[in-house]
Structure 1
């Protein structure tokens, strides 16, 4: 059993993929998604390597994928889609791809900052439906942006934000040598920031990192931006504080379940800006990511 399957491509992905995957590359069969969990084992049968964009591999699903040796996840947040502990127990290697879109994701995060600060999505929907409600927003110059996680994306976010005139402070779980912005403890960052932007990888140590106690430490009316993973925020606590107005606005590109189900609570709130996990999605970043995926697949498990 051998070969590589891209299990869940999309028309948008395929347009760029065809520019990157050349005749000299390892053969890869492309299946157009989405793929339900029950259908995964049948799709994977006959392949030892799978490239995965957004298909769920639970422990039960992985156990049914006989012969699967390697999952190449398109991005860094494999834990949101793959049971990593189960994969390790079953001897299935999971490769991730980082650093391919630091600028792209940071630009999207800054777009969410602007959208939240000026209620752009709310007014857009209102005007399109025949309404007219000029909403008072926040001028960003001189406000404080707290960056949680000063990795590649966080550093790019800091660079862009400083150009806008924001005062930038940052927290990182490990020491950062030569940081270009002041590093502060998380409690201080939450207390000082008008905007908090999350750039943490999701793992056992960061799941629920922004919990109820920490959310309550933020300034009343704070804007929270999340282009990391939904799991780094305690969603029930976030919902409570959004409804109460303590969190003034939540702008997110990531959700606990993607695509969002009809009962997603965030869909019922007005003080949110929601995008469809597209922060990474530019041709420039995508071409880099797909090239690395092809090389990882070719290298084998």
Structure 2
């Protein structure tokens, strides 16, 4: 067996089967989305390629996968699940997939922003509990959206938000060319001027904990915070304190340090937060793009020998 998709949910398994061609490298689909990392050596057996969606691959476990040479990670955030540098020392190359769901994630970001601005989830919860709660929302037309990080997803968010009448500011770790409708500014100005902040950084050693306690304190009072990138970009405890104090009006979160989010997690007790289950990228269109790219990686690997 050349490759194994180790943690396939049924919808993704069916998409792989739909796109698979007779001339493609052999791929075994392991239809179990919830597996322990310790099970990987047995699941991979003599395979050269592991296709991984959301399972941790600790380096000690990878050492036990004697024939493993490549990991095709279904997304951009492989670093949240494995250490690519340590795997490279073992002779294992990690391949990521960019751009497959830029529109899907951007639309989810906008959806969380609007839901947070109008307290949709809060009113829904209260009404289901028998309370007729009416909240004053934040009108977003004419407000400023600040994008922290500016790649493909942020560019899509800027396009949609600009069309909705928002002013868009952005900050990026490396200089960017001029983008129509977007003003690039220093980070301090972005934090101070934005009514809504949306995170779009890749997670690495330099960005882990990027939105720390000090930077959260410098955010414009009563701003919204949206995170569809990676939870570890934010000091979680400081964010929860800022929500509790009212410094942050509301947070819309699609990503968490522990997933699935435990029922007793502090975030489940915070009133002014809207939670979604790491599903910003989940549309049929994005899944189709993702599987196509994964299979292309496998073809290239086999062709190169």
Q: TM-score, normalised by structure 2?
A: 0.95
In structure 2, stretches of 5+ residues that fail to align are: none
Do residues 18 (structure 1) and 12 (structure 2) align?
no
For these two proteins, the number of residue pairs brought into alignment is: 300
Tell me by how many angstroms 1:114 deviates. 0.5
Structure 1 gaps of 5+ residues are none
**Distance (whole Å) between structure 2 residues aligned to residue 222 and residue 66 of structure 1:** 50
> Secondary structure in 1 aligned to 2:173?
coil
| 2:134 equivalent to 1:134 | yes
Q: Could you tell me whether the CA contact under 8 Å between 1:62 and 1:86 is conserved in 2? A: no
Aligned to 2:288: 287
CA distance in 2: counterparts of 1:245 and 1:39, whole angstroms? 45
Superposed CA RMSD: 1.4
Contact 1:118 1:137 in 2 (8 A): yes
Residue aligning to 1:276:
277
User: What is the alpha-carbon distance in structure 2 between the residues aligned to residue 265 and residue 183 of structure 1?
Assistant: 35
Give, in angstroms, the shift of residue 88 of structure 1: 1.8
Q: Residue 265 of structure 1: CA displacement?
A: 2.2
| 3-state SS of 1:291 partner | helix
Structure 1 residue runs of 4+, over 4 Å off?
A: none
State the match for 2:219 in structure 1: 218
Question: How big is the shift at 1:72?
Answer: 0.3
Q: Output aligned runs, 1:28-177, within 5 Å.
A: 28-32=27-31, 33-177=33-177
Contact kept in structure 2, 1:110 and 1:157, CA below 8 Å: yes
- In structure 2, what is the equivalent of residue 209 of structure 1? 210
2:7 is paired with a residue whose SS is strand
Checking the alignment, whether the CA contact within 8 Å between 1:71 and 1:95 is kept in structure 2 is yes
CA contact (8 A) 1:208 1:231 kept: yes
Deviation of residue 135 (structure 1)? 1.4
Displacement of 1:65 after TM fit?
1.9
Check conservation: 1:16, 1:283, Cα contact below 8 A.
no
Give how far 1:18 is off: 2.8
Greater Cα offset, 204-213 or 57-66: 57-66
Question: 1:257: which partner in 2?
Answer: 258
Aligned residue runs from structure 1 range 184-203, under 5 A: 184-203=185-204
TM-score, length-scaled by structure 1: 0.96
Q: Distance in 1 between matches of 2:47 and 2:62?
A: 13
Q: Deviations over 1:197-241 (max 9, x none)?
A: 011111111111111111100011111000111111111211221
Q: What's the offset of the Cα at 1:267?
A: 1.5
Greater mean deviation of Cα atoms: 22-31 or 291-300: 22-31
Shift of 1:263: 4.1
